[in-house]
Amino acid sequence: MSPEPPAIEPPAIEPPIIEPPAIERPVIERPVIEYPHFNRQIPPPPPSLPKLESTGLFKPPAHIYLPEPPTHEGKYPVYHDVFNFIDALRLSTENVCIDGWWTHYLRGSATTWWTSELSNLQRRHLKQAPLEHVSQTLINRFKMPASTALNQINSIHFTYLQIRNGMHIAEHLATCFRLTRHAGFTSEYHVVLMVWNTLDPQIRVILNTP
């Protein structure tokens, strides 16, 4: 018998791949939600607010027992004494109290006081308070104790030796006036008398007694 021919299998036919039509999804524009409480940058002041060049910054020293004269950081005056800063606010305009814009002038330990020591209720109250109330609050927090200021006044003296070393009496008077404000002296006579007592006897003889 002759052998049977091998079986021939038909080629496999792959079904065509049919891709589904692309579905165009509409682009939905979602509204941008802003969270102003996350923005820590200070917004620009309104036109009615005096510029920093004319008002200055308040940066009290780390040690409140050492009141320092004003300095400068670039073009901005920096007040280290609370009374000097309050005088600058009063000379500028009362608009600094609108919406609490005076808080934008705080630096250093004054910023720490505003953000950490005060409660939310106290901050809201001070932002709406008049300038006199703001001033008294700053004085109560950053004023040197009266007893300490009085001791410093009694310990300083102005002599001929200091004059020969180049110290001007205006510098001595500025220090005395700062300390008398911290000591709580409001009478002009008592202020002049305290300054008189700091002068060397050799200088007093050429001046009129208060």
Q: What is the pLDDT of residues 75-124, one digit of tens each?
A: 788 898 999 898 888 877 546 666 677 888 898 889 999 999 999 999 98
Question: Is the pLDDT reported for residue 46 higher than 80?
Answer: no
Sequence ranges of the domains in the chain: 49-142, 146-204
Quick check: 195 and 183 in contact, CB under 8 A?
Answer: no
Q: How confident is the model at residue 1 (pLDDT cuts 50, 70, 90)?
A: low
Q: How far apart are CA 60 and CA 132, in angstroms?
A: 19
Give the contacts of 138 (CB within 8 A, at least 6 positions apart).
58, 82, 85, 86
What CA–CA distance (Å, rounded) separates 131 from 96? 8
Per-residue pLDDT tens digits for 188-197: 888 888 888 8
Helices (H), the chain: 52-55, 82-92, 109-112, 120-127, 131-142, 146-155, 160-164, 169-183, 188-197, 201-204
Q: How far is CA 203 from CA 45, 91, 163, 165, 193, in A?
A: 49, 35, 11, 16, 14
143 close to 81: Cβ distance less than 8 angstroms:
no
At 110-140, the pLDDT tens digits run 999 999 999 999 998 998 888 889 899 999 9
Two structure tokens written together for 96: 């600094």
Check the CA dihedral 85-86-91-92 and report its sign: positive
Task: HSE, CB side, 13 Å, CA atoms: give it for residue 106.
Answer: 14
